[in-house]
Protein backbone atom coordinates (compact mmCIF):
# COMPACT_ATOMS: atom_id res chain seq x y z
CA UNK A 1 0.00 0.00 0.00
CA UNK A 2 1.39 3.40 -0.94
CA UNK A 3 1.19 6.59 1.12
CA UNK A 4 -1.65 8.10 -0.92
CA UNK A 5 -3.72 4.97 -0.34
CA UNK A 6 -3.11 5.27 3.40
CA UNK A 7 -4.08 8.96 3.42
CA UNK A 8 -7.18 8.21 1.33
CA UNK A 9 -8.18 5.43 3.72
CA UNK A 10 -7.78 7.71 6.73
CA UNK A 11 -9.84 10.41 5.03
CA UNK A 12 -12.64 7.92 4.31
CA UNK A 13 -12.56 6.50 7.84
CA UNK A 14 -12.63 9.88 9.53
CA UNK A 15 -15.49 11.07 7.34
CA UNK A 16 -17.84 8.08 7.33
CA UNK A 17 -16.05 5.04 8.69
CA UNK A 18 -14.84 3.79 12.01
CA UNK A 19 -11.88 5.95 13.01
CA UNK A 20 -9.92 4.67 16.00
CA UNK A 21 -10.76 7.79 18.05
CA UNK A 22 -14.56 7.34 17.99
CA UNK A 23 -17.45 8.39 15.77
CA UNK A 24 -16.83 9.70 12.28
CA UNK A 25 -17.75 13.22 11.24
CA UNK A 26 -20.78 12.18 9.22
CA UNK A 27 -22.11 9.86 11.92
CA UNK A 28 -21.98 12.74 14.39
CA UNK A 29 -24.03 14.95 12.06
CA UNK A 30 -26.65 12.86 10.28
CA UNK A 31 -29.29 12.69 13.01
CA UNK A 32 -29.01 16.33 14.09
CA UNK A 33 -31.90 18.70 13.63
CA UNK A 34 -31.09 22.16 12.26
CA UNK A 35 -32.02 23.63 15.64
CA UNK A 36 -29.61 21.38 17.49
CA UNK A 37 -26.86 22.05 14.93
CA UNK A 38 -27.40 25.81 15.38
CA UNK A 39 -27.55 25.74 19.18
CA UNK A 40 -24.79 27.40 21.19
CA UNK A 41 -24.90 25.60 24.54
CA UNK A 42 -21.45 26.84 25.55
CA UNK A 43 -21.13 30.62 25.83
CA UNK A 44 -18.55 32.10 23.45
CA UNK A 45 -18.18 28.74 21.63
CA UNK A 46 -19.18 28.02 18.07
CA UNK A 47 -22.21 25.92 17.22
CA UNK A 48 -21.96 22.52 15.56
CA UNK A 49 -23.15 24.18 12.35
CA UNK A 50 -20.38 26.79 12.54
CA UNK A 51 -17.82 24.04 13.16
CA UNK A 52 -19.01 22.20 10.03
CA UNK A 53 -18.87 25.37 7.92
CA UNK A 54 -15.31 25.91 9.18
CA UNK A 55 -14.34 22.35 8.24
CA UNK A 56 -15.84 22.85 4.78
CA UNK A 57 -13.90 26.11 4.31
CA UNK A 58 -10.54 24.47 5.02
CA UNK A 59 -11.34 21.42 2.91
CA UNK A 60 -12.21 23.75 0.01
CA UNK A 61 -8.93 25.60 0.60
CA UNK A 62 -7.03 22.30 0.42
CA UNK A 63 -8.90 21.28 -2.74
CA UNK A 64 -7.92 24.52 -4.47
CA UNK A 65 -4.27 23.85 -3.66
CA UNK A 66 -4.52 20.20 -4.73
CA UNK A 67 -5.98 21.39 -8.03
CA UNK A 68 -2.95 23.62 -8.63
CA UNK A 69 -4.45 26.97 -7.64
CA UNK A 70 -2.41 29.46 -5.66
CA UNK A 71 -4.60 30.75 -2.87
CA UNK A 72 -4.13 33.04 0.09
CA UNK A 73 -5.01 32.01 3.62
CA UNK A 74 -8.68 32.30 4.40
CA UNK A 75 -10.10 35.66 5.42
CA UNK A 76 -11.94 35.73 8.75
CA UNK A 77 -15.39 35.56 7.09
CA UNK A 78 -14.24 32.56 5.01
CA UNK A 79 -12.55 30.84 7.95
CA UNK A 80 -15.71 31.08 10.07
CA UNK A 81 -18.59 31.68 7.64
CA UNK A 82 -21.85 33.07 9.01
CA UNK A 83 -24.32 30.44 10.11
CA UNK A 84 -27.54 30.34 8.05
CA UNK A 85 -30.97 30.47 9.62
CA UNK A 86 -31.76 27.11 11.21
CA UNK A 87 -34.03 25.45 8.69
CA UNK A 88 -33.94 21.94 7.22
CA UNK A 89 -33.03 23.06 3.67
CA UNK A 90 -30.06 25.13 4.86
CA UNK A 91 -28.80 22.33 7.11
CA UNK A 92 -29.13 19.81 4.27
CA UNK A 93 -27.19 22.17 1.98
CA UNK A 94 -24.41 22.32 4.57
CA UNK A 95 -24.31 18.51 4.76
CA UNK A 96 -24.32 18.33 0.94
CA UNK A 97 -21.46 20.84 0.76
CA UNK A 98 -19.50 18.75 3.26
CA UNK A 99 -20.10 15.60 1.19
CA UNK A 100 -18.97 17.49 -1.91
CA UNK A 101 -15.67 18.39 -0.22
CA UNK A 102 -15.16 14.72 0.62
CA UNK A 103 -15.69 13.79 -3.04
CA UNK A 104 -13.38 16.60 -4.17
CA UNK A 105 -10.62 15.57 -1.78
CA UNK A 106 -10.86 11.92 -2.82
CA UNK A 107 -10.78 12.90 -6.52
CA UNK A 108 -7.72 15.09 -5.92
CA UNK A 109 -5.97 12.21 -4.16
CA UNK A 110 -6.73 9.97 -7.12
CA UNK A 111 -4.90 12.43 -9.40
CA UNK A 112 -1.76 12.63 -7.22
CA UNK A 113 1.20 10.32 -7.11
CA UNK A 114 3.26 9.49 -4.06
CA UNK A 115 6.16 11.42 -5.61
CA UNK A 116 4.03 14.58 -5.71
CA UNK A 117 3.38 14.42 -1.97
CA UNK A 118 6.77 16.03 -1.29
CA UNK A 119 6.11 18.95 -3.67
CA UNK A 120 5.19 22.29 -2.18
CA UNK A 121 1.52 23.24 -2.48
CA UNK A 122 1.17 26.29 -4.79
CA UNK A 123 2.22 29.44 -2.95
CA UNK A 124 2.51 27.59 0.37
CA UNK A 125 5.51 26.80 2.57
CA UNK A 126 4.39 23.19 3.10
CA UNK A 127 4.18 20.09 0.94
CA UNK A 128 1.04 18.32 -0.20
CA UNK A 129 1.90 15.65 2.37
CA UNK A 130 1.74 18.20 5.20
CA UNK A 131 -1.42 19.74 3.71
CA UNK A 132 -3.24 16.40 3.57
CA UNK A 133 -2.21 15.35 7.05
CA UNK A 134 -3.17 18.83 8.23
CA UNK A 135 -6.69 18.35 6.87
CA UNK A 136 -6.95 14.99 8.64
CA UNK A 137 -5.76 16.55 11.91
CA UNK A 138 -7.98 19.60 11.49
CA UNK A 139 -11.04 17.42 10.88
CA UNK A 140 -10.23 15.24 13.90
CA UNK A 141 -9.81 18.30 16.14
CA UNK A 142 -13.18 19.71 15.13
CA UNK A 143 -14.89 16.31 15.29
CA UNK A 144 -13.91 16.28 18.96
CA UNK A 145 -15.47 19.70 19.44
CA UNK A 146 -18.62 18.59 17.61
CA UNK A 147 -18.87 15.52 19.85
CA UNK A 148 -18.67 17.74 22.96
CA UNK A 149 -21.25 20.14 21.54
CA UNK A 150 -23.58 17.23 20.74
CA UNK A 151 -23.41 16.17 24.37
CA UNK A 152 -23.97 19.74 25.55
CA UNK A 153 -27.01 20.22 23.29
CA UNK A 154 -28.44 16.90 24.42
CA UNK A 155 -28.02 17.86 28.07
CA UNK A 156 -29.51 21.31 27.49
CA UNK A 157 -32.85 19.84 26.41
- Domain locations in the chain as residue ranges: 3-27+44-156
Pick the CATH number of 3-27+44-156 from 1.20.120, 1.10.3470, 1.10.510, 3.30.2320: 1.20.120
Please report which confidence band the pLDDT of residue 155 belongs to, taking 50, 70 and 90 as the band edges.
low
Q: How far apart are CA 93 and CA 98, in angstroms?
A: 9
Q: What is the pLDDT of residue 156?
A: 52
Q: Residue 65 has what pLDDT? A: 96
Alpha-carbon distances, residue 90 vs 12, 46, 111, 114 (angstroms): 24, 17, 32, 38
Coil, helix or strand at residue 86: coil
Report the percent of the chain where pLDDT is more than 90: 86
pLDDT digits (tens, 9 = 90+) for 38-88: 999 998 899 999 999 999 999 999 999 999 999 888 899 999 999 999 999
The pTM score is: 0.95
pLDDT of residue 43: 87
Amino acid sequence: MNELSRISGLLKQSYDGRPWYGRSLLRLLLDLTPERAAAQPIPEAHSIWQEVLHIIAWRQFACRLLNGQTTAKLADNENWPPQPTADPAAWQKTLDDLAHTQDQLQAALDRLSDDQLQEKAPGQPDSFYVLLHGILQHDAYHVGQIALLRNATRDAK
